[in-house]
């Protein structure tokens, strides 16, 4: 069964460092998403991506964040200068059409120390 894969599963980084979270969406999907979940809180939307550009983004997705689909396969989330409050589980998702039929990866747990 096709699945969304995310790497790494857990990343620890020092405050101020750049991190890149990687995702391989399902191959025939056209829409890509990043969500995050701070421990004990809601799953929050960060950004959606279609046709090689950002479709929508939340207020969380500020200038420290960027997304890229560098090679038609991977979908990455970069955090330029991490803060302690960026510690969270980051989920990648992809869908053929509607947001509700999105398939999620298993998540990357980011810990900023």
Binding site for another protein (CB under 8 A): 4, 6, 31-33, 35, 41-45, 48-51, 55-56, 58, 91, 93, 95, 97-107
User: C-alpha angle with apex 70: 67 to 74, nearest 5 degrees?
Assistant: 80
Cβ contact 45:99 at 8 Å: no
**Least distance (Å) between residue 10 CB and another protein:** 11
* Closer by beta carbon to another protein, 18 or else 56: 56
**Least distance (Å) between residue 40 CB and another protein:** 8
Q: CA–CA separation, 108 vs 90, rounded Å?
A: 5
* Closer by beta carbon to another protein, 33 or else 112: 33
**Least distance (Å) between residue 112 CB and another protein:** 22
Tell which residue, 4, 6, 110, 9, has the closest CA to residue 64.
110
């Amino acid at each position: 069964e096709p699945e969304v894969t995310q790497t790494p599963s857990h990343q620890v980084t020092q405050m101020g460092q750049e991190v890149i979270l990687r995702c391989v969406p399902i191959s025939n999907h056209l829409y890509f998403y990043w969500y995050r979940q701070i421990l004990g809180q809601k799953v929050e939307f960060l950004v959606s991506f279609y046709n090689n550009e950002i479709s929508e983004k939340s207020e969380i997705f500020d200038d420290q964040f960027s997304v890229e689909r560098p090679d038609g396969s991977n979908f990455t989330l970069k955090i330029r200068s991490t803060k302690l409050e960026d510690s969270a589980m980051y989920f990648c998702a992809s869908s053929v059409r509607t947001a509700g039929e999105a398939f999620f990866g298993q998540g990357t747990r980011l810990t900023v120390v």
